[in-house]
Chains A and B, each alone.
Chain A
Amino acid sequence: MARNNEIPEVNAGSMADIAFLLLIFFLVTATIQTDMGLNRKLPSKEPTPPILVNERNILRIVLNKNDQLMVESEIMGIDELRATAISFLDNGGAAQRAQEPCNYCKGTNDPASSDNPSRAIISLSSDREATYGTYVMVQNELTAAYNTLRNREAQRLFHQDFVEMERQYFDPQTDKAAKKKLMENILAIRELFPMQLSEAETKQIQ
């Protein structure tokens, strides 16, 4: 009687099949995450007392049902919007009036445009028939305008891009002390160019 004391090896040939099965299961049920986007804060429902704002401090943007853009009563291509918004925000026209001058603005000091970035409001109204793609594009260009100006100031004050500072702040690997410092800097920059984007309720524009 031949006795084999060794334990016979388990056949691993079907292991590949099992693993393939699992792999295919995960491929089918999973999606690659695409969660990126533009963050916005909606205004509160509580009625706020109307604030009197000088017309020169408002940049009026209207998007009509044919996805055409009108900025301050003039038709404009979306590719020009960013530059227009930058020159509006960065104007610093208060220098002409010697009240609340904007000492970091590099604009043209046009007295007919915004006084100070902290007072400049961009008003965006869109028609109900306008497409969402165009709306996101407009929002993207406006965000880009703010980011450009904020980057410029962040480079001047902290030698770092504002966008990069925000990315580091939200990065979970940044430690607490660094985060605190970053938040201070971010708030300082936001103070210089606060994002004041007012969206009137959409209406049918005649």
Chain B
Amino acid sequence: MAKFAKKKDGDLPAVSTASLPDIVFMLLFFFMTVTTMKDSSLLVENTLPNATEIKKLEKKDRVIYIYVGKPTQEYQKVFGTEPKIQLNDKFANVDEVGSYILAERAKKPQELQNVLTTALKVDKNANMGLIADIKQQLREVNALKVNYTTYEGNAFNNLQ
């Protein structure tokens, strides 16, 4: 009788968790490959507009970023709600864009200095005056290749 007594226990055997690390590592590698490091935290609202006729911006090392938008909630008390330019990790005025581009260009290796693109990540509610001023600054320093960074989507959603 004692032979069968054990089965009466009723407990389920514990599920083996030995493969759990493998699963988690798989997830980890997935995220490591599809994502990139955040290089600067955003101080401005940055809802990009939508567009359909877009091209991918290849080769991240050839890109200089300029963010434009109105300051996020926590900075609105200090900087107001008018759209501002963000260069690296701080707010900047329009006249600083030129020197920023030159500084960033100097940091890149020699052979890339002529093929740099400036990516304008501009909030869709920003006004064109500021963009025009930035473009004027870019022309001053001969950074003529620009990319209006957008999301992929129907452009007519921009109206809302």
Contact = CB atoms under 8 A, between A and B. Distances in A.
Interface of A: 12-13, 15-16, 18-20, 22-23, 26-27, 29-45, 63, 67, 78-79, 126-137, 139-141, 143-144, 147, 166, 170, 172, 201-202
- 8 A-B pairs with least C-beta separation: A128-B129, A133-B124, A30-B35, A133-B158, A19-B24, A15-B21, A143-B53, A37-B149
Given A26-B32, A31-B36, A137-B158, A130 B147 contact: no
Q: Is chain B's interface secondary structure helix, strand, loop, or mixed overall? A: mixed
Given A23-B31, A37-B147, A132-B122, A144 B53 contact: yes
B136 to A, nearest CB: 7
B132 A42 contact: no
Contacts of B57: 35-37
Given A35-B57, A41-B144, 9 more contacts: A26-B31, A29-B38, A30-B38, A36-B152, A37-B147, A44-B139, A132-B124, A136-B150, A143-B53
Interface residues of B, number: 61
Contacts of B119: 35, 37
Contact of A139 (B60, B126, B135, B148): B148
B33 to A, nearest CB: 10
Interface stretch (B4-12, B44-52, B101-109): B44-52
B54 interface: yes
Contact of A126 (B31, B128, B142, B143): B128
A132 B126 contact: yes
A11 to B, nearest CB: 11
A143 to B, nearest CB: 4
A170 B58 contact: yes
15 contacts: A13-B17, A16-B20, A16-B21, A20-B24, A27-B31, A30-B32, A31-B37, A33-B36, A38-B147, A44-B139, A67-B159, A126-B132, A129-B128, A131-B125, A132-B126
